[in-house]
Copies of this chain bind each other. A is one copy, B any other.
Amino acid sequence: MGDPLATSQIVHEKLTKVKALSVFSSDALSSVAYATEEILFVLIAAGSAALNLSIPIALAIATLLIIVGFSYFQTIHAYPKGGGAYIVASDNLGTVFALIAGAALLFSYILTVSVSISAGIAAITSWLPSLFPYRALLAVVGVAIVTVINQRGTSESASIFSVPTYIFILGILSLIFYGLIRWLFMGGLPTVEINEPMHTNVALQGVTLFLVLRAFSAGCTALTGIEAISDGVPAFRPPEAKNAGKTLLTMIAILIIMFLGITFLASQVGAVPNHAETVLSQIGRSLFGYGPLYVVVQIATALILILAANTAFADFPRLSYFMSRDGFLPRQMGNLGDRLVYSNGITLLGIAASILILFFKGDTHSLLPMYAVGVFISFTLSQMGMVRRWLRLRSGGWLRNAVINSIGSISTFAVFMVILITRFTQGAWIVVLLIPAIVLVLLRINRHYQQVAAQLSLERYGAPHRMRNPQVIMPISGVHRGVLKALEFARSLSPDVTAVYVETSATEGEEVRRKWSQWGDGVRLVCLPSPYRSILSPIIDYLQQLEAERQPDDIITVVLPQFVPSRWWGNLLHNQSAWMIRLALLFRRGYIVIDVPYHLTDSPNEETT
């Protein structure tokens, strides 16, 4: 993964607005690659005529984008050090809501990766249909590549982001502009020929309110990722909050233009959603043909989607770090790896996203309902937190601010409920079960850390006391060099050493006693009879007897002579009694178990230590 980096090499690159837009907007902007298509996928159930409903639905979503955009504009100014939903909620709404927001965010980041990579692969397979059967495999390979790149660290790469993002923006805007010109001045657009008509297995149904709301829910995936800038305010050049706010509004404007433009063009070229070719590809193809402009748009789409996945590889480990610092996730999530990245978080994200992709066979369409639910939970909690904050602080303009965020939180909550109900059977139910489960696990982890801290605390800890010489018990399986080395060590620990031998056969027992009297250096030998040939239970019984006799604070030290074969498989050739004794004592209090290794060599005559 490259040479290790020293802690002192952490640097914070400060971004211009132009660079920052490309770094933080890929997640939001890339969602236009699938949002329109999702609307059409729902409407097609009511026949091709219903597809025209996409225009008013897109306008409603654009309104929602403006509302949520202004809400986050507030957040940026209130939290110039970065105000993700977890931080805002934990600041204003208390632990449980913070954890719900945190769980929803972690889950959304995983889905950002699965969805973006799957959609990126779909852009490629729309262009090169022969790759379609391998889409899940290609997506997993994509996730693996992004994971490895992130393990190396991406701090140097801010400017690399700009190129594909701006090519994408430029490409889509050209497409829209060119389409509009043709529509206005050249008498309409050509109708696209669908290579593979959709094999819909739902019966045609009428246009119901439920269907329209479901289509609206599906289109709300256009909002995913717009919170990214509010997380990353400190990365902007000063004045950070002001620059970030302007960038947010610019991004929202571009997003709305692209989303409405694509939706309009889709309805004009008569795009029909299907699993084999994306709607965006159908539009590009009907306007540009299969020429180089089409290919550029497809590749730029794939690239920005991969960048969108890449942002989750920064967000997920950072949030995990915050949550582990607060004691809700395992400490290991906070370990900075050799390359100054939170390696465990990156790995975990890559694995989780790959599992989702494989489970849903790389189909963006199946993943999006879950994604939307997760995202709107965090939107709602973040806005609720902001409302609570204004009411609490009552700083200048608090009433106006509170109203803006109230509108934001009420709309996002309403949309959350609509998504939940209309897409419940399409995956939303999974989120409803999963988020509370994750929250319970987070709380349990936190309780564990609190208990550990309380028990390790040095408060009211008395003066250091001195321990007496420990009582040493040394089980032996015979008398040989390994045992005698262990005996030497045991005697160096304490004068109170007892060797214990389990006697499964009288003749062997006699032999051991004879040898011990010669080599045992005067140490006491206890022979335990074992009529049932068990080695372990007589030793445990004997130790329990000692336990009964000892003082409450006394520790029994068990010294286990153990030879270490020179090859790993050598262990398979010996009875693992020492290991079994260690295991049996693992959860018993008041024992310290010491293996004394005797290293064997490959050559039969060499002396060993």
Contact = CB atoms under 8 A, between A and B. Distances in A.
Interface centre among A331, A454, A575, A604 (most CB of B within 10 A): A604
A392 interface: no
Nearest to A518: B458
Interface of A: 4-8, 330-332, 335-338, 445, 448-452, 454-458, 461, 464-470, 479-482, 484, 487-489, 491-494, 504-505, 515, 519, 521, 531-534, 552-553, 555, 563-565, 567, 570, 572-575, 586-587, 589-606, 608-609
Given A492-B468, A492-B469, A609 B597 contact: no
A48 B404 CA distance: 93
A306 to B, nearest CB: 29
A480 B492 contact: no
Number of chain copies forming the complex = 2
Given A464-B487, A493-B493, A600-B455, A8 B605 contact: no
Given A448-B565, A452-B565, A458-B480, 8 more contacts: A330-B572, A448-B570, A449-B573, A451-B601, A455-B606, A456-B598, A461-B484, A592-B594
Nearest to A465: B488
A533 B336 contact: yes
A338 B330 CA distance: 43
Contacts of A603: 451
B4 A532 contact: yes
A470 B492 contact: yes
A453 to B, nearest CB: 8
Given A4-B532, A7-B504, A461-B481, A593 B595 contact: yes
Contact of A599 (B6, B448, B504, B589): B589
Contacts of A464: 484, 487-488, 519, 521
Given A461-B481, A464-B484, A604-B450, A489 B470 contact: yes
A452 B600 contact: yes
7 contacts: A4-B534, A7-B532, A8-B531, A452-B570, A464-B487, A466-B491, A467-B492
A601 B455 contact: yes
A567 B449 CA distance: 12
A519 B464 CA distance: 7
Contacts of A563: 452, 456
A525 to B, nearest CB: 14
B573 A604 contact: no
Contacts of A605: 454
Contacts of A494: 492
Contacts of A564: 586-587
A470 to B, nearest CB: 6
Nearest to A470: B492
A505 B7 contact: yes
A457 B481 contact: yes
Contacts of A479: 458
A573 B448 contact: yes
A489 B555 contact: yes
Contacts of A533: 7, 335-338
Contacts of A597: 589, 591-592
Contact of A489 (B458, B592, B593, B606): B592
A451 B602 contact: yes
Contacts of A489: 467, 470, 555, 592
Given A451-B600, A457-B480, A604-B454, A592 B592 contact: no
Contact of A467 (B449, B457, B491): B491
A505 B531 CA distance: 58
Contacts of A521: 464
Contacts of A450: 604
A51 to B, nearest CB: 50
A5 to B, nearest CB: 7
A465 B521 CA distance: 9
